[in-house]
Amino acid sequence: MAVHLLSASRLPVAKSINQNSWEMGGTLVREALERSGLESVDAIYASSMMSGELEGQMHLASLIADEAGLAGVEAMDISAVSASGAAAIRAAYLAIQSGEVNSVAVVGVERMSAGDANPVLRKALHAVRESEKTMVLKNADALAMYLKNHSVQYESFVNFAINAHRNGAKNPLALFQKEVDEAKVVEARIIAEPLRLYDCSPVCDGGACIVLSRSDHKAGDVKLAASACSTDRFVLEDRQDPLDFLAARKSFQKACDSSGRNTPDFKFFEVHDAFNIMACLCLEACGFASKGRGFRLAEDGDIYADGKLPIATMGGLKARGHPIGATALYQAAEIHAQLTETAGANQLPAEKIGPALMQSIGGAGTTLFTHFFEPA
Ligand code: COA
């Protein structure tokens, strides 16, 4: 049973959006539905990491259904911290594959500006054993370990930020629409040694939605060709090798096994570049570079829009922004835009219109979702 991605809707990512997340969700579902050519959907799956804590609102999917004028449909909140949107996409994929539903609107919304997002973000980590840590500190530790173990200079990583900002500068929906050069990245303030400002994704608001359907119910131009999830030891330091993103590797492998695709097939990669080190470790886990050499794809310019494997083609988490529960929906919507050649100034060249890879990370490499998309 093929699952098709029919349509998408996105809000401009902003430092602050003056709307409740469920109002954003209702608008996004209506817009995506209108573009899908469907009258309605059988289900709405919603993702948000923080609406309960920062807006005092849980039970979001049903509220979004009502806001969208779709009260009566199946509705569920789906959660996997920073990969919540990808978990919701996977739930929709499984529901459609099972034959239980024909179509699902998957919507992700996040208003990090509604309160102090940092104490909520750290809840992705172990509440007792990592109580002194934050996501920033965990990724700073990982980058420091990588630089030391592989004898790499910090400067070898700057192209991750330069690429994301170059692509973000062309995307009218991106939070940061400004380019940065090497000097700006290197001289930026240190957030947690060795991570500097431009190595981190920002705190921001946003929302996006996609409509998925059984292909025999309503066919579209883009196929969701595989979906997989794997986990690793919860705490990074418990892993045999903390620099081996095992969950990324395993979920990628599972998706390859189910679809018959493999590393050389992919034309571009919407990677989870919440921090530069995450992008690097995902590139290695999916076989685009050997262990300890992922940064070379950045250093050599292979990750640029005209490179061998473009990543973060519309700015990525770094420059488009990372409104947590909405992020994977932006990734999927951007892949839809690339594959339907509607990506505007960010449009990849024709030879790149082919199998596209998307990964989404929950926590410090703990829960990993891999999705493959391709022209239908
Ligand atoms: N990249 C580039 N610029 C950034 C930025 C980022 N990640 N974060 C903030 N800025 C800019 C702001 O736009 C602002 O610029 P302006 O003065 O021109 O308006 C300036 O830096 C100060 O912004 P502010 O919000 O005060 O920065 P901050 O020091 O409080 O936050 C970080 C910076 C990196 C600590 C914050 O963005 C952060 O915590 N990021 C990680 C979030 C996270 O953990 N997400 C989950 C990942 S799984």
Angle between helices 21-36 and 60-67 (to 10 degrees): 60
Percent of the chain with pLDDT over 90: 100
Q: Which residue has the tokens 């529960």?
A: 325
pLDDT value at residue 329: 99
CA of 195 relative to ligand 1 center, distance in Å:
12
Distance 203 CA to ligand 1 centre (A): 6
Average pLDDT (8-15) is 98
> Residue whose CA is closest, atom 23 of ligand 1?
202
Query: What are 83's two structure tokens?
Result: 């990969």
Question: Which protein residue has the closest C-alpha to ligand 1 atom 47?
Answer: 274
SS (H, E, C) 237-258: HHCCCCCCCHHHHHHHHHHHHH
Q: Which residues contact 1 (CB under 8 A, 6 or more apart)?
A: 96, 97, 99, 214, 215, 216
pLDDT of residue 82: 98
Kindly state if the Cβ of 247 falls inside 6 Å of ligand 1.
Answer: no
Q: Which two tokens stand for residue 235?
A: 């705490």
198 C-alpha to center of ligand 1: Å? 8
β-strands 43-47, 103-111 pairing: parallel
Q: Is the CB of 6 under 6 A from ligand 1?
A: no
Contact 10, 330 (CB under 8 A): yes
Is 329 within 8 Å of 107 (Cβ atoms)? yes
Dihedral (Cα; 67, 68, 74, 78), 10-degree rounding? -70
Strands 195-196 and 103-111 turn out to be: unpaired
d(CA 104, CA 356): 21
- Residue to probe by mutation, ligand 1, list 118, 197, 275, most atoms within 8 Å of CB: 197
Could you tell me the distance, in angstroms and rounded to a whole number, from the CA of residue 13 to the centre of ligand 1? 14
For the chain, give the longest Cα–Cα distance: 58
83/81 Cα distance (integer angstroms): 5
Q: Which of 264, 284, 258, 265 is nearest to 365 (CA)?
A: 284
- The whole-number average pLDDT for the span 41-54 is 98
| Cβ atoms within 10 Å, residue 310 | 23
Average pLDDT value for the chain: 98
Tell me: pLDDT of 1 over 90: no
Cβ–Cβ under 8 Å, residues 366 and 278: no
What pLDDT score was predicted for residue 337?
Answer: 98
Distance 175 CA to ligand 1 centre (A): 11
Counting residues of the chain whose pLDDT is more than 70, the rounded percentage is 100
* 200 CA to centre of ligand 1 in angstroms: 7
Structure tokens at 217: 């119910």
**Ligand 1: does its nearest atom lie under 6 Å from the Cβ of 322?**
yes
| pTM reported for the whole predicted model | 0.98
β strands within 170-320, DSSP E: 190-192, 195-196, 205-214, 222-231, 268-270
Encoded tokens for 196: 């500097």
Task: Find the angle CA(262)-CA(332)-CA(347) to the nearest 5 degrees.
Answer: 85
Q: Whose CA is nearest to atom 30 of ligand 1?
A: 203
Looking at the CA of residue 198, tell me the nearest atom of ligand 1. Answer: 1
Query: Which numbered atom of ligand 1 lies nearest the CA of 81?
Result: 48
User: How many C-beta neighbours within 10 Å does residue 306 have?
Assistant: 10
Label residue 209 by pLDDT band (50, 70, 90).
Answer: very high
Rounded to an integer, the average pLDDT of 246-274 is 98
pLDDT digits (tens, 9 = 90+) for 131-148: 999 999 999 999 999 999
Residue pLDDT, tens place only, 319-331: 999 999 999 999 9
- Please state whether beta strands 74-77 and 43-47 pair in parallel, antiparallel, or not at all (unpaired): parallel
Tokens standing for 155? 């400067």
**Could you tell me if the CB of 46 is within 6 A of ligand 1?**
no
Q: What is the pLDDT of residues 63-108, one digit of tens each?
A: 999 999 999 999 999 999 999 999 999 999 999 999 999 999 999 9
**Smallest CA separation from ligand 1 atom 20, residue:** 197
- The protein residue with its alpha carbon nearest to ligand 1, atom 25, reads 203
Ligand 1 centroid to residue 356 C-alpha, Å: 29
Q: Is 274 in the pocket of ligand 1 (CB under 6 A)?
A: yes
At 223, list the tokens.
């196929």
Which domains are assigned to the chain? 3-118+201-375 (3.40.47.10)
